[in-house]
Structure 1
Amino acid sequence: MAAKLKFTVLCGEYELVRALREGRVKPKGIDLEFVHYPGTRDIHSLVARDQGADINEYNGGAYVMAKSQGRPFTALPVFLHRRFRHGFIFVNAKSGIEKPADLTGKKIGSRTFTSAADFWMRGLLEDEYGVPQDAMNWFIQDRSEVSFKPVKGLKMKRIPKGRKIADMLVKGEVDAFMSPGVPKAIINKDRRVRRLFADHKATEMAYFERTGIFPIMHVTTIRGELVKKEPWIVESLTRAFEESKQYAFARIANPRIVPLAWWRADWEEERQCLGDDPWEFGLSEANQRNYGMLVDYVNRQGLSQRRMRLENLFPKEAFELKLPFRVKYRPDDNY
């Protein structure tokens, strides 16, 4: 019997990968070692510096940028992080911003210009509300993990080292903040800060109903030489991630597991809106359109050195996977 291949993995400690981490799911012909997860921000920096593992969760937009610059990695069609982004645009209560069009000419803060969330939020503002990125004045906190030259006409400044965009929003030094996470001011119910979209859930549900897009944030990268040498690993790994995901669905559908009062009702509402598998893996037509939109945003925002296509970003074996995957585990409805 041939010896199994051994790969290291660096990704978030998600329920979706729990069965893989615990060894209940094993990819055919491969042993996986999950290395220490350094945190949401640091993982992207490590991958950008080629200091990650063999297999890495990575910012889906920065991946497009890095590939356009010739980085020799590729990606599995495994999308571990998705998130709607209307609810992550925050404004100072005294900014005079009531609707997206009011962002025109305003001071907009971002922790970094190239987080996956920022690509999507800038794209949404332009496509859905007619507010292009060059209509706003950008104030950036941190250097991007992947270098880039701002496109002509883009008004951008780095804030002084040690300053925080979240604090500047509270003080009114910037008018709005596009953030991958929820700032403390919102968590602490600080009345000086509010969301641009007050009922962001309704806005996001309407967006999905109109577009069918549940935005893909992250891809799963793998060293290109590994796929070139052993192309069969694309199917083995993708199917293992899929099986782990089905374990997760079976586990968390049980309302005893999640300490939320209306968890089962929320689960049912989400499935009614988003379908049976909102976290679909593989390059289905829907996923190609979804991730293709992020790729298009990176291209249109002037952040790729050459125009990228999905064929530049995934190995041919990813397109050859037979879909849909055979579902092995189903949640028990008797709760």
Structure 2
Amino acid sequence: MKFVLGRDDLAAATESAIRGIGTESERIDVRPVNKASRGMVGEGALDICELPVVTLLQAVAHERPVLLLPVTTLGRFQHQTLVTLGERTVADVAGATVGIRSWSQTTGVWVRGFLTEQYGVDLRAVDWVVYEDGHVDGHSDPSWVRRAPAGARVPADFLDGRLDFAVLGNELPADDRIRTAIPDAAQVAAAWSKDKGFAPVNHVVGVTEKAARTHSAAVCAAYDAMREVLAAEPQDGPVDLHPVGFEALRGPVSQAAAYALEQDVLPRPVDFDELVARSCEALGVPASRLGG
């Protein structure tokens, strides 16, 4: 079995668990880890792969043979990722130019959800500039989103003043001029998560349907190994940033799916129970085996 996981501790535990079942395994090292998504979803090049949650939802909506293994490999607060230069704030987003790497980027889906839900922003009143395609073939950006010129990059356009705002997570440059657009973003994010009962989930684990049917015991062993690693991490904050199990993931994944549908990221609704049923049927296990 070939797999991609960004965290070394999760990868080591997964490899040991799979081999303990008697199945050969090979870790493929891809950095940044989201670069593995297209090969996993489009070509089935990997058996287990860390995926942005919106990529997994798109894969299911577009009938790709990809299943959810309910493990959060990356969870984080997201309110701070909407940034600007100078004195602008979230109150100035309507009518402004906002850059984002990909319309289906998970961080962007969360941020746009916050804008509509908490700040009453009409997304169509914003000049959205997108720089790349997403990871799932078949998706088209909404007609009211424009594409940046070939070769352009969000951080450079943002720092050079061609964008009023940008959504930047790991790509955030080091520059003293940069400010979070949402005042007291950390406190707002913590309050949002406390109210919802969950944090925004960024990356989860995807499994091909073929691997689930052929190597069910190995996939379940990998789940157990990752759950054990994440359970040992100290909890610091109002909610768990790395929830594991179907019930623990129901809230954040359902919220991400709702935001994505509202934003024309998904071509159809993806209900969480559909994800559970698909995974359990292919693996031949009850939902309770995977925290359901």
Q: TM-score, normalised by structure 1?
A: 0.76
Secondary structure of 1:70's aligned partner:
coil
Residues 211 and 143 (structure 1), Cα distance of their counterparts in 2 relative to 1, 3 Å cut:
same
Corresponding residue for residue 55 of structure 1: 48
Q: Deviations over 1:256-308 (max 9, x none)?
A: xxxxxxxxxxx6xx53x335x54121012x42011111111122212222221
Residues 57 and 218 (structure 1), Cα distance of their counterparts in 2 relative to 1, 3 Å cut:
same
1:210 to 183, 192, 195: 195
Corresponding residue for residue 332 of structure 1: none
Percent identity of equivalent pairs:
19
Corresponding residue for residue 13 of structure 1: 7
Q: TM-score, normalised by structure 2?
A: 0.87
In 2, are the aligned partners of 1:88 and 1:181 still within 8 Å (CA)?
Answer: no
Corresponding residue for residue 28 of structure 2: 35
Q: What count of residue pairs does the alignment treat as equivalent?
A: 285
2:150 to 145, 156, 161: 161
1:236 to 213, 221, 234: 221
Cα distance in 2 between the residues matched to 1:222 and 1:97: 42
Structure 2 stretches lacking a partner, 5+ long: none
Letter matched to residue 12 of structure 1: G
**Alignment RMSD (CA, Å):** 2.5
Alignment of 1:197-276 (within 5 A): 197-229=182-214, 231-246=216-231, 249=233, 271=236, 273-274=237-238
Cα distance in 2 between the residues matched to 1:73 and 1:27: 24
- 1:306 equivalent to 2:291? Answer no
What is the CA-CA distance between 1:14 and the residue it aligns to? 4.3
Alignment of 1:112-127 (within 5 A): 112-127=102-117
Secondary structure of 1:293's aligned partner:
helix
What is the CA-CA distance between 1:156 and the residue it aligns to? 1.4
What is the CA-CA distance between 1:321 and the residue it aligns to? 2.1
Cα distance in 2 between the residues matched to 1:211 and 1:225: 35
Residues 32 and 246 (structure 1), Cα distance of their counterparts in 2 relative to 1, 3 Å cut:
farther
Structure 1 stretches lacking a partner, 5+ long: 1-6, 250-266, 325-335
Corresponding residue for residue 290 of structure 1: 252
Corresponding residue for residue 287 of structure 2: 319
Residues 28 and 280 (structure 1), Cα distance of their counterparts in 2 relative to 1, 3 Å cut:
farther
In 1, are the aligned partners of 2:99 and 2:167 still within 8 Å (CA)?
Answer: yes
Higher Rg of the two aligned structures: 1
Cα distance in 2 between the residues matched to 1:49 and 1:109: 26
| Bigger fraction of residues in helix | 2
Cα distance in 2 between the residues matched to 1:150 and 1:278: 29
What is the CA-CA distance between 1:135 and the residue it aligns to? 2.3
